[in-house]
Amino acid sequence: MGPMRGPLVAPDPNLREQVKVHLEQVLASQHFRNSRRCQTLLRYAVENALEGNFDGLKERVIGRAVFDRDAGYDTNQDAVVRNAAAEVRKRLAQYYLESGTNAPVRIDLPSGTYVPEFHSRPADVPPEPAPAPPRPQIGWLPAVLALVALTAISGWLTSARNQTATPPPTELDRFWAPLLASPAPVQICVGQSRMNYWPRRLPENQPNYSVPASKLEPMRDRFLWFGDSVTMAEISGYLASQRKPYRIRGALVTPYAELLGNPIVLIGAFNNEWTLRLTQGLRFSLLDGDTPDVRGVRDREKGPGLAWHVTRNPQGWNPNEDYALVTRFFDPQTQQIVVTAAGITHFGTMAAGDFLSNPAYFLEAVRSAPPDWQKKNMQIVLETKVVQGTPGPPTILASYFW
């Protein structure tokens, strides 16, 4: 985007008008127009900063003004502002990377604050032509060649040193550490549909032929939901990057004996009996509702009802928003660490897979966690917006450590 001047707070009237115009362009972009929450938060933050109202840009004030929270709500327990701000930062980064590279101004929301910064882009200055290098004298040629060789060797050694250096572990790495430390391979157990059938043979040239049930055979071991498949690929890819052995099994063909002796990753919920069985006694669990068309997440501390739920419409389980439950706990039945990535539908499961393979997403979950959270069991409830069959980034709704 070119060089920028320093951050401007309460800018001059000309820049203020530029920021207002640019804000509307950002909010109308494909990165923001499908997220009312991100639009509202960014507009509120920018307008208050332009007016110099920095007292209105504190977490508790934003929670009341933007998200209708009570005046005394607990910001440690309710991370709605922090989660929304993290999503705004990500969407801003995507916008300036893809759509706003030539914008005359830039809006940033630095990490750790809710006060936006405004940067202006000065007019591009054409670079001066570089002077022609002096023609070396023949006597200096060996020295020049030696210098070039020395520089190349130094660059190669630096590159090799950087490639072998081990980066510091992320919070996501700490989440997976108990499974990585186990001497046994990780057992990835993927949910399988119970409703897939295939006709044994169809008669030719009869497009309206009705297949009788007697000619259908189950294909439960051959089909996976797309979201479950993506999550399986993301988690197995992470384990492979850590050189951790793993094996993949379908939930319908996994006997209890295979869950003994191995750390376990359970993908999917209502198509994975092991997920429902092993998490049913925890604070958060995935359950069917009072009718067959409702499924959701129960919070045991709020009673027997569903705290968050999805309703099946005439087209099937195609919600506008979905919910997922990420769990890591020591299971006394299997005597192993169990991790779940389970949505109400496969859209939520895909969001859980993103959450468990993206360090930036996971970092938001532990900002308000206990200092020793790495040694604790944990559950995290996620929400994702679904637009045209594609789930958006995961948002943290609740978390529990014990």
Q: Which two tokens stand for residue 368?
A: 């308000």
pLDDT for residue 2:
36
Structurally, the chain folds into a number of domains equal to: 2
Non-local (6+) Cβ contacts of 312 within 8 A are: 292, 293, 294, 295
Highest mean pLDDT among 143-152, 212-221, 255-264 belongs to 255-264
pLDDT at 6 over 50: no
33: alpha, beta or left, given left = phi > 0 and alpha = psi -120 to 50?
alpha
Asked if residue 149 is part of any domain, the answer here is no
- In 225-373, the DSSP E strands lie at 246-250, 264-267, 284-288, 294-299, 306-311, 321-331, 336-343
Confidence at 130, pLDDT banded by 50, 70, 90:
very low
Contact between 295 and 369 (Cβ < 8 Å): no
Q: How far apart are CA 387 and CA 392, in angstroms?
A: 7
pLDDT at 357 over 80: yes
Backbone angles phi, psi at 309, to 5 degrees: -150, 165
Same domain assignment for residues 294 and 395: yes
Asked if residue 163 is part of any domain, the answer here is no
The larger pLDDT score, comparing residue 4 to residue 396, is at: 396
pLDDT at 162 over 90: no
Non-local (6+) Cβ contacts of 163 within 8 A are: none
pLDDT for residue 377:
96
Q: Using the 3D structure, point to which of 79, 99, 120 is the last residue of a domain.
A: 120
Place of tokens 């008669």: 203
User: 210-242, pLDDT tens digit by residue?
Assistant: 666 665 555 555 677 888 999 999 999 999 999
User: 47-90, pLDDT tens digit by residue?
Assistant: 999 988 989 999 999 999 999 999 888 888 888 899 889 889 98
234: domain range?
171-199+213-401
The pTM of this model reads 0.57
Same domain assignment for residues 301 and 393: yes
Same domain assignment for residues 176 and 92: no
Non-local (6+) Cβ contacts of 167 within 8 A are: none
DSSP state of 8: B
Q: How far apart are CA 98 and CA 299, in angstroms?
A: 40
The larger pLDDT score, comparing residue 160 to residue 5, is at: 160
Contact between 189 and 249 (Cβ < 8 Å): yes
| Average pLDDT for 31-50 | 92
Same domain assignment for residues 397 and 336: yes
Same domain assignment for residues 190 and 326: yes
Contact between 101 and 25 (Cβ < 8 Å): no
Q: How far apart are CA 47 and CA 56, in angstroms?
A: 10
> Three-state SS for 354?
helix
User: 196-207, pLDDT tens digit by residue?
Assistant: 445 545 556 666
Q: Using the 3D structure, point to which of 120, 144, 163 is the last residue of a domain.
A: 120
Question: How large is the C-alpha radius of gyration of the chain?
Answer: 27
Q: Which two tokens stand for residue 5?
A: 């001047």
Asked if residue 164 is part of any domain, the answer here is no
Asked if residue 204 is part of any domain, the answer here is no
What type of residue is 16? R
Confidence at 3, pLDDT banded by 50, 70, 90:
very low
The larger pLDDT score, comparing residue 83 to residue 349, is at: 349
User: 282-314, pLDDT tens digit by residue?
Assistant: 999 999 998 989 999 999 999 889 999 999 888
pLDDT at 128 over 50: no
DSSP state of 125: -
Asked if residue 148 is part of any domain, the answer here is no
Same domain assignment for residues 92 and 226: no
